[in-house]
Amino acid sequence: MNFDFKEILTAFMVLFAVIDIVGNIPIIIDLRKKVGHIQSEKAAIISCFIMIFFLFLGKSLLNLIGIDVNSFAVAGSFILFFIALEMILGITLYKDDGNSGTITATVFPLAFPLIAGPGSLTTLLSLRAEFAIENIIVAVFVNVIVIYIVLKTSSKIERLIGATGIQIIRKVFGVVLLAIAVKLFTHNIKALFI
């Protein structure tokens, strides 16, 4: 084992910025209002499993089904784009079917693609090229703990900020998410035509 605190910290910071769980608080609150309850533990565990799985088998799995990382990122950018539109315009594109609302929202779109989405999954693939795998795994686990805390306390954060504050943050982060979606799209679409 080759644990390196600097590598762990760097990988943690990069993943934390890409996942942007603090910036996703308005989306989490909105999902909670739609379905009533989100299972924080399940969302954290599922997103952790997806990230660790993808860290080890991501590139091979995508190659096996004939999809490159850039195509995967472009597809993910569309999902982020529509979530951003919901936030900015106050419209509802994601509709719960009513059968298993809590479980559905916990897995999709919360655990995937919001937490363990194309951004974080492609980031994991690029981190693997630079850092020791055990350091990346520790960084993923620390991020998941932070994600769990934010998911658990999102109601308290909502009360602290207030309805107007949430609306303002929602619009601002909607624009930020839209910009991330556009950047993810443009960066990866170029690579598809090279």
Length of the chain: 194
What average pLDDT does the structure give for the chain? 84
> Tokens standing for 27?
């989306």
DSSP letter, residue 113: I
Per-residue pLDDT reduced to its tens digit, 11-20: 998 898 888 8
The domain of 156 spans: 5-192
Instruction: Report d(CA 17, CA 10) in Å as an integer.
Output: 11
**Residue 143: closest CA among 127, 155, 129, 160:** 127
The structural domain count of the chain equals 1
- C-alpha Rg value of the chain to the nearest Å: 17
pLDDT at residue number 57 = 92
pLDDT at 98 over 60: no
Per-residue pLDDT reduced to its tens digit, 47-90: 999 999 999 998 888 889 998 878 877 887 887 788 788 888 88
Helical segments of 4-39, H only: 5-19, 25-35
Structural contact between residues 47 and 112, judged by C-beta atoms closer than 8 angstroms: yes
Instruction: Report d(CA 82, CA 117) in Å as an integer.
Output: 14
Instruction: Report d(CA 95, CA 69) in Å as an integer.
Output: 28
pTM, to two decimals? 0.73
